[in-house]
Amino acid sequence: METNNIKASRIKAAGNNLLYIGFTLIACVLISLIQVAYITGLDSGKSNYLDSVKDSNNFFMILNIVFAIVIIFNMISAGKNLSSCEELEADVIPNVDSEKLLLKLNMTKSSSGKLANGGIIVYTDEKGEHGLVCSNNDLGNANWNSAKQLCDNYNEAGFSDWRLPTKDELQLIYLLLHRRKIGGFADNYYWSSTENNSGSAWVQLFDGGIQNYDAKGNECNVRAVRAF
Protein backbone atom coordinates (compact mmCIF):
# COMPACT_ATOMS: atom_id res chain seq x y z
CA MET A 1 0.00 0.00 0.00
CA GLU A 2 0.94 3.66 -0.07
CA THR A 3 2.75 3.68 3.27
CA ASN A 4 4.40 0.33 2.62
CA ASN A 5 5.66 1.53 -0.75
CA ILE A 6 7.07 4.70 0.82
CA LYS A 7 8.71 2.67 3.57
CA ALA A 8 10.23 0.26 1.04
CA SER A 9 11.62 3.13 -1.03
CA ARG A 10 13.19 4.74 2.05
CA ILE A 11 14.72 1.45 3.17
CA LYS A 12 16.12 1.07 -0.34
CA ALA A 13 17.50 4.62 -0.19
CA ALA A 14 19.14 3.86 3.17
CA GLY A 15 20.64 0.72 1.64
CA ASN A 16 22.06 2.78 -1.22
CA ASN A 17 23.57 5.20 1.32
CA LEU A 18 25.29 2.30 3.06
CA LEU A 19 26.46 0.98 -0.30
CA TYR A 20 28.02 4.35 -1.15
CA ILE A 21 29.77 4.35 2.22
CA GLY A 22 31.19 0.90 1.47
CA PHE A 23 32.46 1.98 -1.96
CA THR A 24 33.98 5.11 -0.44
CA LEU A 25 35.83 3.10 2.22
CA ILE A 26 37.19 0.78 -0.48
CA ALA A 27 38.30 3.86 -2.44
CA CYS A 28 40.06 5.17 0.69
CA VAL A 29 41.99 1.92 1.05
CA LEU A 30 42.95 1.93 -2.63
CA ILE A 31 44.07 5.56 -2.46
CA SER A 32 46.19 4.80 0.59
CA LEU A 33 47.85 1.89 -1.24
CA ILE A 34 48.49 4.11 -4.27
CA GLN A 35 49.99 6.77 -2.00
CA VAL A 36 52.32 4.24 -0.37
CA ALA A 37 53.32 2.86 -3.77
CA TYR A 38 53.96 6.37 -5.09
CA ILE A 39 56.14 7.43 -2.18
CA THR A 40 57.98 4.13 -2.24
CA GLY A 41 58.72 4.62 -5.92
CA LEU A 42 60.28 8.04 -5.38
CA ASP A 43 64.04 8.31 -5.47
CA SER A 44 64.98 9.41 -1.94
CA GLY A 45 68.35 10.59 -3.25
CA LYS A 46 66.93 13.39 -5.38
CA SER A 47 66.92 16.94 -4.08
CA ASN A 48 63.17 17.36 -4.59
CA TYR A 49 62.27 14.13 -2.76
CA LEU A 50 60.82 15.86 0.31
CA ASP A 51 58.85 18.30 -1.83
CA SER A 52 57.38 15.42 -3.85
CA VAL A 53 56.40 13.58 -0.69
CA LYS A 54 54.83 16.75 0.72
CA ASP A 55 52.89 17.42 -2.50
CA SER A 56 51.62 13.84 -2.64
CA ASN A 57 50.56 13.97 1.00
CA ASN A 58 48.63 17.17 0.40
CA PHE A 59 46.93 15.72 -2.65
CA PHE A 60 45.90 12.50 -0.93
CA MET A 61 44.82 14.41 2.16
CA ILE A 62 42.40 16.45 0.04
CA LEU A 63 41.02 13.23 -1.46
CA ASN A 64 40.54 11.73 2.01
CA ILE A 65 38.71 14.86 3.17
CA VAL A 66 36.37 14.54 0.18
CA PHE A 67 35.82 10.86 0.98
CA ALA A 68 35.13 11.69 4.63
CA ILE A 69 32.50 14.26 3.59
CA VAL A 70 30.85 11.67 1.31
CA ILE A 71 30.79 9.11 4.15
CA ILE A 72 29.34 11.56 6.69
CA PHE A 73 26.69 12.76 4.22
CA ASN A 74 25.57 9.20 3.45
CA MET A 75 25.56 8.23 7.12
CA ILE A 76 23.26 11.17 7.91
CA SER A 77 21.03 10.36 4.93
CA ALA A 78 20.79 6.69 5.91
CA GLY A 79 19.85 7.67 9.46
CA LYS A 80 17.13 10.02 8.25
CA ASN A 81 15.69 7.42 5.88
CA LEU A 82 15.56 4.74 8.58
CA SER A 83 14.10 7.08 11.21
CA SER A 84 11.41 8.20 8.76
CA CYS A 85 10.40 4.53 8.41
CA GLU A 86 9.75 4.47 12.16
CA GLU A 87 7.54 7.55 11.76
CA LEU A 88 5.58 5.80 9.04
CA GLU A 89 5.03 2.83 11.36
CA ALA A 90 3.21 5.17 13.72
CA ASP A 91 0.56 5.62 11.01
CA VAL A 92 -0.12 1.87 10.93
CA ILE A 93 -2.66 0.67 13.47
CA PRO A 94 -1.87 -2.85 14.71
CA ASN A 95 -4.44 -5.46 15.53
CA VAL A 96 -6.41 -4.51 18.65
CA ASP A 97 -8.49 -6.54 21.07
CA SER A 98 -12.05 -7.14 19.87
CA GLU A 99 -13.49 -6.63 23.35
CA LYS A 100 -12.36 -2.99 23.37
CA LEU A 101 -14.03 -2.28 20.05
CA LEU A 102 -17.21 -4.10 21.07
CA LEU A 103 -17.32 -2.15 24.31
CA LYS A 104 -16.90 1.06 22.33
CA LEU A 105 -19.93 0.11 20.21
CA ASN A 106 -21.85 -1.36 23.20
CA MET A 107 -22.13 -4.67 21.34
CA THR A 108 -21.41 -8.36 22.00
CA LYS A 109 -19.91 -11.18 19.93
CA SER A 110 -22.28 -13.89 21.23
CA SER A 111 -24.06 -14.33 17.84
CA SER A 112 -20.99 -13.63 15.68
CA GLY A 113 -20.68 -15.96 12.70
CA LYS A 114 -24.35 -16.90 12.43
CA LEU A 115 -26.29 -16.37 9.21
CA ALA A 116 -29.13 -13.86 9.46
CA ASN A 117 -30.48 -10.62 8.02
CA GLY A 118 -29.00 -11.25 4.57
CA GLY A 119 -25.44 -12.08 5.61
CA ILE A 120 -23.06 -13.14 8.38
CA ILE A 121 -23.55 -11.58 11.81
CA VAL A 122 -20.47 -9.70 12.97
CA TYR A 123 -21.88 -8.58 16.32
CA THR A 124 -25.18 -7.80 18.04
CA ASP A 125 -26.45 -6.02 21.11
CA GLU A 126 -27.12 -8.06 24.24
CA LYS A 127 -30.68 -8.86 23.18
CA GLY A 128 -29.63 -9.84 19.67
CA GLU A 129 -32.10 -7.41 18.16
CA HIS A 130 -29.63 -5.03 16.55
CA GLY A 131 -26.13 -5.32 15.21
CA LEU A 132 -24.07 -5.63 12.04
CA VAL A 133 -23.91 -8.23 9.28
CA CYS A 134 -21.49 -8.49 6.37
CA SER A 135 -22.21 -9.90 2.94
CA ASN A 136 -21.59 -13.61 2.45
CA ASN A 137 -19.03 -12.93 -0.29
CA ASP A 138 -16.70 -10.24 -1.58
CA LEU A 139 -18.23 -7.85 -4.08
CA GLY A 140 -15.06 -7.69 -6.13
CA ASN A 141 -11.90 -5.64 -6.32
CA ALA A 142 -12.21 -1.91 -6.94
CA ASN A 143 -10.95 1.57 -6.16
CA TRP A 144 -12.48 3.36 -3.19
CA ASN A 145 -15.25 5.27 -5.00
CA SER A 146 -16.22 2.19 -6.99
CA ALA A 147 -16.15 0.12 -3.78
CA LYS A 148 -18.69 2.44 -2.20
CA GLN A 149 -20.86 2.20 -5.30
CA LEU A 150 -20.68 -1.60 -5.33
CA CYS A 151 -21.93 -1.68 -1.74
CA ASP A 152 -24.68 0.88 -2.40
CA ASN A 153 -25.92 -1.18 -5.36
CA TYR A 154 -25.75 -4.52 -3.55
CA ASN A 155 -29.06 -6.25 -2.83
CA GLU A 156 -29.33 -9.52 -0.92
CA ALA A 157 -32.30 -11.28 0.68
CA GLY A 158 -34.43 -8.23 -0.02
CA PHE A 159 -32.08 -5.85 1.81
CA SER A 160 -30.74 -2.88 -0.14
CA ASP A 161 -29.22 -0.78 2.67
CA TRP A 162 -25.70 -2.17 2.31
CA ARG A 163 -22.64 0.05 2.59
CA LEU A 164 -18.86 -0.03 2.95
CA PRO A 165 -17.81 -0.81 6.56
CA THR A 166 -16.09 1.75 8.77
CA LYS A 167 -12.53 1.22 9.97
CA ASP A 168 -13.69 -0.17 13.35
CA GLU A 169 -16.30 -2.40 11.72
CA LEU A 170 -13.74 -3.79 9.33
CA GLN A 171 -11.39 -4.50 12.22
CA LEU A 172 -14.12 -6.48 13.98
CA ILE A 173 -14.93 -8.39 10.80
CA TYR A 174 -11.29 -9.42 10.69
CA LEU A 175 -11.13 -10.32 14.39
CA LEU A 176 -14.50 -12.02 14.85
CA LEU A 177 -14.96 -13.69 11.48
CA HIS A 178 -11.81 -14.01 9.41
CA ARG A 179 -9.62 -15.19 12.29
CA ARG A 180 -12.18 -17.92 12.91
CA LYS A 181 -12.09 -18.79 9.19
CA ILE A 182 -15.66 -17.60 8.67
CA GLY A 183 -16.74 -15.69 5.58
CA GLY A 184 -14.22 -16.79 2.96
CA PHE A 185 -12.19 -13.58 3.11
CA ALA A 186 -9.03 -13.23 1.04
CA ASP A 187 -5.65 -12.57 2.66
CA ASN A 188 -5.67 -9.16 1.07
CA TYR A 189 -6.47 -5.50 1.72
CA TYR A 190 -10.12 -4.50 2.16
CA TRP A 191 -11.52 -1.00 1.86
CA SER A 192 -13.18 0.81 4.75
CA SER A 193 -15.39 3.87 4.38
CA THR A 194 -13.17 5.86 6.78
CA GLU A 195 -11.19 8.51 4.94
CA ASN A 196 -7.64 9.45 5.89
CA ASN A 197 -7.73 12.59 3.74
CA SER A 198 -9.17 13.70 0.41
CA GLY A 199 -6.91 11.34 -1.52
CA SER A 200 -6.71 8.26 0.71
CA ALA A 201 -8.83 6.01 2.92
CA TRP A 202 -8.18 3.34 5.54
CA VAL A 203 -7.81 -0.31 4.60
CA GLN A 204 -7.51 -3.55 6.56
CA LEU A 205 -4.99 -6.24 5.71
CA PHE A 206 -6.63 -9.61 6.31
CA ASP A 207 -3.24 -11.30 6.29
CA GLY A 208 -1.92 -10.09 9.63
CA GLY A 209 -4.60 -7.63 10.70
CA ILE A 210 -2.89 -4.25 10.44
CA GLN A 211 -4.82 -1.17 9.35
CA ASN A 212 -3.21 1.30 7.03
CA TYR A 213 -4.29 3.86 4.47
CA ASP A 214 -4.08 3.70 0.70
CA ALA A 215 -4.66 6.02 -2.24
CA LYS A 216 -8.31 5.99 -3.25
CA GLY A 217 -7.38 5.25 -6.86
CA ASN A 218 -5.82 1.89 -5.96
CA GLU A 219 -7.85 -1.30 -5.97
CA CYS A 220 -8.65 -3.37 -2.87
CA ASN A 221 -11.15 -6.09 -2.00
CA VAL A 222 -14.71 -5.05 -1.16
CA ARG A 223 -17.08 -6.53 1.44
CA ALA A 224 -20.42 -4.88 2.21
CA VAL A 225 -22.11 -4.51 5.60
CA ARG A 226 -25.52 -3.47 6.86
CA ALA A 227 -26.85 -2.56 10.28
CA PHE A 228 -30.04 -4.19 11.52
pLDDT digits (tens, 9 = 90+) for 67-120: 889 889 888 887 776 665 544 444 445 556 788 888 878 889 889 999 999 999
Q: Sketch the domain layout of the chain as residue ranges.
A: 2-89, 98-227
pLDDT digits (tens, 9 = 90+) for 148-196: 999 999 999 999 999 999 999 999 999 999 999 999 999 999 999 999 9
Average pLDDT over residues 112-132: 93
**Residue 97: helix, strand or coil by DSSP?**
coil
Mean pLDDT of the chain: 85
Buried b (16+ CB within 10 A) or exposed e, 55-92: eeeeebeebeeebeebbeebeebbeebbebbeeeeeee
Top pLDDT among 107 and 55 is at: 107
pTM for the model stands at: 0.60
* % of the chain exceeding 70 in pLDDT: 88
The CATH number assigned to the domain with range 98-227 reads 3.10.100
